[in-house]
Amino acid sequence: MSARGITLTRHIMTKRETTLPQRDLALIMERIEFVAKRISRELTIASLGGETGFTGQTNVQGEQVKKLDEWGNDVFLEAFEHGHPVCSLISEEMDEPRHYPGSCKGESYCVLYDPIDGSSNTDVNGSLGTIFAVKKRNAGHGNGIHDLLTAGTEQAVAGYIAYGPATQIVYTAGSGVDIFSLDPSLGEFILWRENVKMPPHGSVYATNQGNIGKWHPNARAYIDRITSRKDKRTSYSLRYCGAFANDFHRFLLEGGVYVYPGEVVEGGKTKGKLRLMYETAPLAMVAEQAGGRASTGKGRILEVRPAAIHDRHPVYIGSADEVRLAEEMKVEG
Ligand code: F6P
């Protein structure tokens, strides 16, 4: 059979090693596919229907909520309302987790997500993504979240959806990274690349360089170093689209590094912007599964244990060589 005939569900059912039972993985990914199709369809017409712009509300992080953020969150809530075996959701757009006690029988899971990643792009027809992860819940957890405040190494599944010229689902369930493209005429995600490997170094970096004045001096030195143009290894180009998953997607396929350094605060410490549980930890799992690396600048992102669901950290993620260099240069305070 040519790869054109392999749908996401079929691929899961024939995959040998996964972190959770195949049936559970298939049920959860079927819901993620449904979310991807709904959001993808909506994005093509959202501006015509007046669904872009702000709601007038601010979220738990003090950011202005875009109409599409709120709508994207509702798409997840609806998809998982009857989403057995998923019984909890943690979202960038909700202060507290949402629980579906009816789905908490036997093995159960929590899906953590950022429904619309890169929301500053919603009003300009720019790149957007969705980031997700799945964690197993402990038996008897009730509505508590203690069992979920674990390091990213405990993620069973992680991935993202990139809405570009093609809508793609990129995910890992612990045995490599696979990419599926939506064929809108069939309404199916079809295997595009299997067991993707990230090149060990690249020639492109992504960052919001306008923030450079707020960074630790060593983070500034890092960017100076990779752009000093002394040789091939110090001659990087900048590409930044303002959507984490979409910038990362380039580096997964072609190598390079995405950095969002922390802002220096009192005592010389640095404070990051990106959220650990539903932004950086999921992409860190994808990066590592593809042979790349993901760091807070001080250590492996996947080993950071959150104190709260909306915790933030600096991030350096992509090809192993570039991320290792950032750690060696002690880029964070
Ligand atoms: O919070 C997530 C995010 O929107 C990322 O998707 C993106 O890379 C980054 O923040 C953009 O931040 P800024 O607007 O500061 O460049």
Mean pLDDT for each 10-residue chunk of the chain (333 residues)? 78 87 95 97 83 79 84 95 90 93 82 95 93 91 87 98 96 97 96 97 97 98 96 93 98 98 94 98 98 98 97 98 98 95
Amino acid identity of residue 167, one-letter, is T
137/104 Cα distance (integer angstroms): 9
Please tell me the pTM assigned to this model. 0.95
Q: Treating both helix axes as pointing N-terminal to C-terminal, what angle do 22-45 and 67-81 enclose, rounded to 10 degrees? A: 150
Full set of structural domains in the chain with CATH: 8-193 (3.30.540.10), 204-328 (3.40.190.80)
Q: For residues 296 and 315, is the Cβ–Cβ distance under 8 A?
A: yes
Q: Is residue 126 lining ligand 1, measured as CB closer than 6 Å? A: no
Burial class (CB in 10 A: 0-12, 13-18, 19+), 293: buried
Q: Treating both helix axes as pointing N-terminal to C-terminal, what angle do 281-289 and 244-254 enclose, rounded to 10 degrees? A: 10
The two structure tokens encoding residue 333:
């305070």
pLDDT of residue 1: 47
Q: Is residue 243 lining ligand 1, measured as CB closer than 6 Å? A: yes
Give pairs for 138-147: CB < 8 Å, separation 24+. Answer: 141/104, 143/97, 143/99, 143/101, 145/88, 145/90, 145/97, 145/309
Q: Is residue 272 lining ligand 1, measured as CB closer than 6 Å? A: no
Looking at residue 278, the DSSP 8-state letter turns out to be I
Burial class (CB in 10 A: 0-12, 13-18, 19+), 16: exposed
Nearest to 150 by CA among 110, 105, 114, 96: 110
From ligand 1's centre to the CA of 117, what distance in Å?
8
From ligand 1's centre to the CA of 210, what distance in Å?
12
The two structure tokens encoding residue 159:
């991935």
Measured CA to CA in angstroms, residue 222 lies from 144, 238, 265 at distances of: 41, 14, 19
Beta bridge partners of 161: 130, 169
Q: How far apart are the first and last CA of the chain?
A: 53
Determine how β-strand 177-183 pairs with β-strand 167-172. Answer: antiparallel
Question: For a substitution probing ligand 1, which of 215, 247, 274, 316 has the most ligand atoms within 8 Å of its CB?
Answer: 274
Nearest atom in ligand 1 to the alpha carbon of residue 273 is: 1
pLDDT of residue 325: 97
Cα dihedral 210, 215, 219, 220 sign: positive
What is the total residue count of the chain?
333
205/225 Cα distance (integer angstroms): 12
CB atoms within 10 A of CB 323: 25
105/97 Cα distance (integer angstroms): 18
Q: For residues 261 and 331, is the Cβ–Cβ distance under 8 A?
A: yes
From ligand 1's centre to the CA of 220, what distance in Å?
19
Question: For a substitution probing ligand 1, which of 120, 122, 215, 240 has the most ligand atoms within 8 Å of its CB?
Answer: 120
Question: For a substitution probing ligand 1, which of 124, 127, 244, 279 has the most ligand atoms within 8 Å of its CB?
Answer: 244
From ligand 1's centre to the CA of 142, what distance in Å?
34
Q: What angle is formed at CA 290 by the lines to CA 238 and CA 163, rounded to 5 degrees? A: 60
